Amino acid sequence: MWRVKLSWWKQIPGIFLFIIASALSATELTPHGRFTKAMFKTATSFIGLDFFDFVDAALMGFVKMQWLRTEGSKVQ
């Protein structure tokens, strides 16, 4: 992953995000952990700017699922 230029990764942000998400738990306690977390935040922000409707729907789905954690409350 380090050998590929960031300009190439910008062309395929979904694949970049998938690789970063896969590496997050493995790099948690390594020196690359902070960089991996920063790249994850950057990639999700970039995808959110281009595909706002998709990100909005995904976050709303997450919010609607929160009723499973609380007793009897519903999000409409």
Question: Is the model's pTM score more than 0.75?
Answer: no
For 23-43, write each residue's pLDDT tens digit: 887 888 888 888 888 888 887
Q: How many residues does the chain have?
A: 76
Portion of the chain with pLDDT greater than 70, in percent: 78
Query: Sorting pLDDT into bands at 50, 70 and 90, what band is 68?
Result: low
| Residue 27: both structure tokens together | 């790099």
For 8-19, write each residue's pLDDT tens digit: 877 887 778 778
10 Å CB burial of residue 53 (0-12, 13-18, 19+) is: exposed
